[in-house]
Amino acid sequence: MLSEITSAFASIKAANDILKGFSVLKTEAAVNEKAIELQSIIFSLHNHISSLHSSYDEIVQEKRNLEQKIMDIEKWETTKQKYILKELNPGVFAYVHKEPKESVSDKHWYCANCFNAEQKESILQNRVRGETRNHVYACPQCGDKIEIGNPDYEMPDGGVMESTW
């Protein structure tokens, strides 16, 4: 981008020098020659300015993309602070809401893999229900499965939240 700016200024200076030189030209042929040279410089200047405009547009778009990434990271950090990694059964982990409420939206577990690696909130889905000893929960995003014998778990505050899904 700096080279385009330098080239644009050089073209402007060359055009200015040609315009100054018009007053000392004696013949129409010399004037025409300088006019053609001036047109060439103006065309070059136009190309440099177009290139600068394109570079500027790219920089503005990159700035917007970076701002969006920052907003996404800040949003993720806010979301992440609401959850805690909980061992549901020995060796079986999921992210649960730190402060559960009676709201149905807080009665869920997030896949530990997606939550950590992908920074996604992927709710584990109960795939086996009814008269079974174990419950199998699967992540719809990555396909990871967890199996737990008792889907009721104790929350950080000591309360028990029953799985009623």
pLDDT value for 56 = 93
* C-beta neighbour count of 88 within 10 angstroms: 22
Structure tokens at 51: 């290139």
Q: Beta strands 145-148 and 153-154: pairing type?
A: unpaired
Most confidently predicted of 105-114, 115-124, 132-141: 115-124
pLDDT value for 1 = 65
Helix axes 28-80, 2-21, angle to 10 degrees: 160
State the burial class of residue 55 (Cβ atoms within 10 Å of its Cβ: 0-12, 13-18, 19+).
middle
**pLDDT reading at 156 higher than 50:** no
pLDDT tens per residue across span 112-121: 999 988 889 8
**pLDDT reading at 133 higher than 80:** no
* pLDDT bucket at 74, cuts 50 / 70 / 90: very high
